[in-house]
Structure 1
Amino acid sequence: MYEETQEREQQISGSKTKGEGENVRETWTRPSQFFFYCLGYAVNFGNVWRFPYLCYKNGGAAFLIPYMIILLVAGIPIFCLEVTLGQYISLGPATLFPKLAPILLGLGVGMVIISFLTAIYFNIIMAWIFFYIFATFNAVLPWSNCNNDFNTPACYMEEGGAMCRNRSLYYYDHSCLNASEYCQLGHLSALNHTHCYNPDSPTQIKPVEGTVLRVMASEEFFRNRMLRVTGRTWDDMGEMQWELVGFLLFAWIIVGACLVKGIKMTGKIVYFTALFPYLILVILFARGITLDGAYQGLEFYLLKPNITRLTEVEVWSDAAIQIFYSLGICFGCHITLSSYNKFSNNCVRDTFAIAIFNCLTSVFIGLVIFSILGFMAKELGMVVEEVATSGSGLVFIVFPAAISLMPFPQIWSILFFIMLLTIGLGSQFTMVETVLTALVDQFESLQVYKAQVVTFTCLLLFVMGLTMCLEGGIYMFELFFFFSAGFSIIVLGLMQLIGVQSVFGYRNMMLAMREMGIDQPRVVTWYWAVTWLFLTPATLIMIAFFYLHLFMPAYWGDYEFPSEIQVLGWLLCGSSMISIPIGAIIAIAKNKGSMKNLFVPSPEFCPASVRPLLKAKGTETEPRFRYTMYHNDAFMDTEMTTKEKSHPPEK
């Protein structure tokens, strides 16, 4: 049957007129382009600033146990489901799911909305990276000292601190103070050379060094120089940061210029964006493990597993959320990328390979990060736990501070931030391509205006990101980061799984794989049956429950966002989920037959090679046409022959 399908594809493509051929869907030049595109998308900022922190926080190497279990029971099954559907139907999510069942009209739209919202704040990170790259071209890294006009008296340099400690004094604002002077900064009195006390409450005693808040020079560069967020709140977002606006525009120009030529161009670019980060990671790791203190960092990260943490619900919840973030499932991106595959590509093999590469990459990035953090802790006389953090603070505060302590810091800074840049581009290409594909699939006439569609989309995303370039823009960024792709991807993933298995079914999924020429061992087919039908939906329900149970309000640093902003965040989260009931209402309103029609695949839920036959025969035969795997050719011939006898073609 596979050979027959291929022959039918060739006959159809050979019979197209010039006008029809203009709307033929692009495909990858080589299967490896799909693999590296997916790998570049899966390996994203979350692998750098989230996984290493979660690993050390949740028991070190022991965290890999729930991580791998969730990967097997939820991550890989949903990943494979998406790439199989996309490759088989050759459509993006916004047009695929309505053809699967009209009632699912809003499911694919919700996925595209998530990609759209994520793309907005993702390029803000790219703008920050460009800011740091340009700042690196200085004789002295501006985040390595407290001698800048944006620094405050609380800025702390270890070099100055060490000099003061040798004199039994305390460093503050480029000066060495005695215990009495230092205690007065905190409105306390000196008890002795090492402790202060509160005159109004003499029993309140604290160490002298803990009296005044110390701020790292790299943190002041991030907060006071780049963001200028100091003193800003949601009620006062400050002025526009035109430097960041320029870098944001530059980032969107790069993304748009690469996407305007279509997947054949970006398919070549992703070879670089997917592989180049590994080269830099190897270089950074080779340097990191030679630094004094690297072993302590690695020991803290992986070498002392705490098995007892596996009994805590939070550990399993963190593992599940990280799998969704890391693989990027339920964003509609895997469906989009696989829709450009050749019909015969072995997408199941790619699923396992990409998932394994992604997980190994996460572990390796953690080795790089913690080898250098161990060095930093050693240099500052601290323990690794005191310097380890997650999120933007890791890559824009802690890691730059660690790099500034290394010989030739400009070189290592350039390498690190270019690595982040290429990682970000790989993910951003995919999310924006998902939005573009949704538009072009929905309005096929736009295919000939690809440049205009790309330009308009990138311009719209750029404008929507401008609020994050305000002095208080970090708050808007964190709001998007908290809510745009959290609980919603779990809900959409569950709806996707239920919709596909209840309408299309496990048996038809297996037949679709066989029709595409994908042969699988029996144990793998049983694996899909157990996960798709039982384990994965149960896991998603538990993840959703614990996500809500353990949810914390959005915040940044010590500033928890006001309640009305939390409501705004949930509205942002609901913007993708609300598309499901809205789509169902629209489908019901448009339905002119029985309600059963809303829950059955449309005639166009079939391979791309078959859909032209529907259009060629016209609407008269379309309602009677049905694509039945493995029996379609005989069925189609019988149907068409019967119809042609009663309505012979015009000469």
Structure 2
Amino acid sequence: MQAADKESKILTSERSSWDKPVEFVLSCLGYAVGLGNVWRFPYLCYRNGGGAFLVTYFIMLFLMGMPIFLLELVIGQYSGLGPEQAFTKLAPILSGLGYCSLVVITLVTVYYMVIIAWTVFYFFASFTSELGYGSCHNDFNTIVFSGLVSCFSATEDDKCKPMELYYNKTCMLVDVLCKSKHYEGALNKTFCYATDESAVPVYKVVNRTLATAEYFRDYVLGVRDADWYNFGSISWALFGCLLLSWIIGYLCVIRGVKTSGKAAYFTALFPYVILTALVVQGCILEGAVDGILVYITPKWGMLLDVDVWAQAASQTFYSFGISCGSLITLASYNTFNNNCLKDAIIVTAANAFTSIYAGFAIFGMLGFLAKQMGVPVDAVAQDGPGLAFVIYPEAILRLPAPIFWSIAFFFMLFILGLGSQFAGVEAVSCLIMDKWPKTRHYQAYLTLGICLGCFLLAIPMCFGGGVYIFTLLEWNTASWAILLIGFTEVVAVSWCYGCHRFMDNMASMDMTMGKVAKWYWWACWAVITPFTLLGVFAFQMSNFSRTSYEGYDFPIWADMLGWMIGISTLAPLFIFGGISLWHGKYSGWKWFQPTSEWKPQNGKTESRLTLDNNQLIESIHI
């Protein structure tokens, strides 16, 4: 017992802590609010019933997102430990669960910084007299040859005469263009007509691709003809952007929460300034109302679609960054009596608000772009990198002062992405420092090693075929595997440790709640949340599809590699659990019971519930 107390004191005596409680809240907000709020949620809302999707989203937020979010904060704050040490002491059989989170957050940190490097690339490319991504007069742009796609530039099209259209790097009469495609002629600049007097939009007649799409695919990424068997050459410009991104990230986390907490004031709050400017600008443009109506108009019939509910559950889970160990890590630096229940409510509410708010900036601009191009909003709506690096830049080109808006937009994306990275690096360093406390004396060097390692792992994604590695990691890391990690976390707390015991720990940290609130948390942790996670996992498995990127289906061996990556995130749970069983330190239910080392951080207070490792798992009741 004395040895355990000594180890606990070593683990906690030199641990850092937040200088102010608000730094923890802002760090959680910066971690949760990221690029997905801008480029994923608005599109999901539009594709899954508009305003009706918000109903499913908020239901899943209350039944799954917030309960797991709070659960992880309480584990971290109560124990004052990172995920590896916390779960090992909570239930010895789960000694590998923290390592599962470590593998996930490491891989996510590696590929997520590549996205940030893309934003840095665009940010610097915006400091020019004419935005390069709007031009078709580059070596990498396509021309029409044997039916291939032609590059289309809105900037160049504006220079053409009223009845001309920019096509194949020149201005061509629309009438001539329509006839070359076997139509009778042109009604105006936007329609070709056939012999039966039917009209077809010009954009459906000509085979064109946006200049912004070619810029991103062929210049920034350097894909061109690259595939899994021909990775192409490295983009030194992208390599430099990746290096710069990691240098900035390292400087922000060099002293752990002491520096990242200060950086969070800017990374968590400043994006709202630019986002508000984009919302205002987007809403006053011609066609913006059409885009916003597409975004928010409810399609109530879609509430009967199981896929809509599964999408809402998935978005809720992924948007908060749960099951990656980062939230447990951030909360472990709190003071013992911090009200993390209040913090959880604030962060989840702010995250949901940001997602909805960003949708007005996105769809206001998409409505404007659709109006400018003479196409329906459906034709320009995308999610993911395609929205941020192709469609939105295309809309920016058509704005007054496009250079200013380009700089502002990509700077916002950079800050949003950077703020989400802090917690990932903290989680890895926390695990190492908790495991080997003496490394805390060399925190700056340890953090440097982590950043350098992640940077080196990301270098292959700077090659022409690097986007395929990126896609493989994105599809198989922060996806189905973390659903199972989240399920294990919730089951460990609610079914093994016990909801009563867990709520008693919360009460010992001065977090009080009424009877209704207790029923709500108990129902979620014990029943609703775990079974919802299993349902979403089953749905994802039943809708499994081959990994692909822009129509290119990955080879079977690449798909198998992706599955191995996903499985590797779960492997530590079984490996370390098996090792623990082999050593046979415990027996029976003791493997699922908290050890004598599971106690309040720093011994500042004692739990009101005495833990007896000899007792059976307590029944879950209120």
TM-score, structure 1 as length reference: 0.87
Alignment equivalent of 1:231, drawn from 225, 228, 234: 225
Distance 2:520 2:164 in 1: 66
- Using the alignment, how far apart are the partners of 2:174 and 2:68 within structure 1? 62
Deviation digits for residues 459-493 of structure 1, max 9, x if unmatched? 11011101110011111111111111100111001
Q: Deviations over 1:30-61 (max 9, x none)?
A: 11111110011110111011000000001111
Query: Which of 111, 119, 135 is residue 101 of structure 2 equivalent to?
Result: 111
Equivalent-residue separation in structure 2 for 1:371 and 1:563 (angstroms): 40
| Number of the residue aligned with 1:286 | 280
Q: 1:414 to 1:601 in 2, by over 3 A?
A: same
User: How far is 1:149 from its partner?
Assistant: 2.8
Indicate if the aligned counterparts of 1:37 and 1:270 stay in contact, CA closer than 8 A: yes
8 Å contact from structure 1 (residues 100, 503) kept in 2: no
> Which of 64, 73, 82 is the aligned partner of 2:63?
73
C-alpha distance in structure 2 between counterparts of 1:159 and 1:48, whole Å: 26
Amino acid of the structure 2 residue aligned with 1:409: P
Q: Distance in 2 between matches of 1:530 and 1:22?
A: 33
- Alignment of 1:82 with 2:82, yes or no, is no
Which position in structure 1 is the counterpart of 2:386? Answer: 393
Number of the residue aligned with 1:145: 135
**Residue in structure 1 matched with residue 608 of structure 2 by the alignment:** 630
> Is residue 2:166 matched to residue 1:173?
no
* CA separation of 1:231 and 1:517: change in aligned 2, threshold 3 A: same
Paired residues of 2:291 and 2:366 also in contact (CA < 8 A):
yes
Deviation digits for residues 301-322 of structure 1 (CA, Å, limit 9, x no counterpart)? 11x2100111111111111111
Cα distance change, pair 401–207 in 1 and its aligned pair in 2 (3 A): closer
Specify the alignment match of 1:604 in structure 2: 597
1:570-609 equivalent positions in 2, closer than 5 A: 570-609=563-602
**Corresponding position of 2:549:** 556
> SS of the residue aligned with 1:578?
helix
**Letter aligned with residue 81 of structure 2:** L
User: How far apart are residue 372 of structure 1 and its match?
Assistant: 1.2
For each residue in 1:597-630, what CA deviation from the matched residue of structure 2 results, as whole angstroms up to 9, or x when unmatched? 322211111112239xxxxxxxxxxxxxxx9722
CA distance in 1, matches of 2:591, 2:40: 41
For the 8 Å contact 1:73–1:531, the answer to whether it is kept is: yes
CA distance in 1, matches of 2:164, 2:134: 24
RMSD: 2.4
Q: Distance in 2 between matches of 1:222 and 1:34?
A: 36
* SS of match in other structure, 1:155: strand
Identity of aligned residues (%): 39
Query: Aligned partners of 1:208 and 1:276: how far apart in 2?
Result: 42
Using the TM superposition, give the Cα deviation of residue 167 of structure 1 relative to its aligned residue in structure 2, in angstroms: 3.4
Aligned-residue offset at 1:181: 6.5
Judge conservation of contact 1:587–1:598 (CA < 8 Å) in 2: no
Kindly provide the CA deviation profile for residues 403-456 of structure 1, in whole angstroms up to 9, marking residues without a partner as x. Answer: 111011111111111111111111100111111111111111111111111111
Correspondence for 2:38: 48
CA change 1:133–1:158 in 2 (3 A) is closer
3-state DSSP class of the match of 2:140?
coil
Provide the rounded CA distance (Å) in 1 between the counterparts of 2:433 and 2:256.
Answer: 12
Deviation at 1:553, TM superposition (A): 2.1
Q: Distance in 1 between matches of 2:110 and 2:567?
A: 17
Match for residue 437 of structure 1? 430
Partner secondary structure for residue 602 of structure 2: coil
Cross-structure match for 2:486? 493
- Segments of structure 1 that go 5 or more residues without pairing to the other structure are 1-11, 198-204, 612-626, 636-651
1:522 aligns with 2:515: yes
Superposed counterparts of 1:219-298, under 5 Å: 219-298=213-292
- From the CA coordinates, give the structure whose radius of gyration is larger: 1
User: Are the counterparts in 2 of residues 170 and 182 from structure 1 also a CA contact under 8 Å?
Assistant: no
Match of 1:214 in 2: 208
Partner of 1:476: 469
- Comparing 60-69 with 370-379, greater Cα deviation is found at 370-379
1:507-531 Cα offsets, whole Å, 9 max, x none, are: 1111101111111122111111111
1:143 CA drift (Å): 1.3
- CA separation of 1:386/1:206 partners in 2, compared to 1, >3 Å: closer, same or farther? closer
Distance 1:582 1:21, change over 3 A: closer
Distance 1:408 1:174 in 2: 25
1:566-610 deviation per Cα after TM superposition (whole angstroms, max 9, x unaligned): 111111111111111112101101223434432221111111223
- Between the aligned partners of 2:407 and 2:182, the Cα distance in structure 1 is 46
Task: Decide which of 374, 380, 384 is 1:381's aligned counterpart.
Answer: 374
Report the 3-state secondary structure (helix = DSSP H, G, I; strand = E; otherwise coil) of the residue aligned with 2:172. strand
1:156 aligns with 2:152: yes
Corresponding residue SS for 2:42: helix
CA distance in 1: counterparts of 2:165 and 2:437, whole angstroms: 73
Q: 1:466 to 1:376 in 2, by over 3 A?
A: same
CA distance in 1, matches of 2:609, 2:500: 15
**Cα distance in 2 for residues equivalent to 1:610 and 1:178:** 79
SS at match of 1:215: strand
Q: Is the 8 A contact 2:35 2:417 kept in 1?
A: yes
Q: TM-score, normalised by structure 2?
A: 0.91
3-state SS in 2 of match to 1:505 = helix
Give 1:157 deviation, angstroms: 2.4
CA displacement at 1:222 relative to structure 2: 0.6
Deviation at 1:91, TM superposition (A): 0.5
- Please state if 1:327 is matched with 2:320: yes
Summarize the Cα distance change of 1:537–1:178 in structure 2 as closer, same or farther, 3 Å threshold. Answer: closer
- Structure 1 residues 631 and 179: CA distance shift in structure 2, 3 A: closer
In the alignment, is the contact (CA less than 8 A) between 2:429 and 2:446 conserved in 1?
yes
Q: Is the 1:84–1:513 Cα contact (8 Å) retained in structure 2? A: yes
Maintained 8 Å contact 1:50/1:391: yes
Q: Distance in 2 between matches of 1:228 and 1:631?
A: 60
Task: Classify 1:468/1:21 alpha carbon distance in 2 versus 1 (closer, same or farther; 3 Å).
Answer: closer
Alignment match, 1:645: none
For the Cα contact (< 8 Å) 1:484–1:573, is it kept in 2?
A: yes
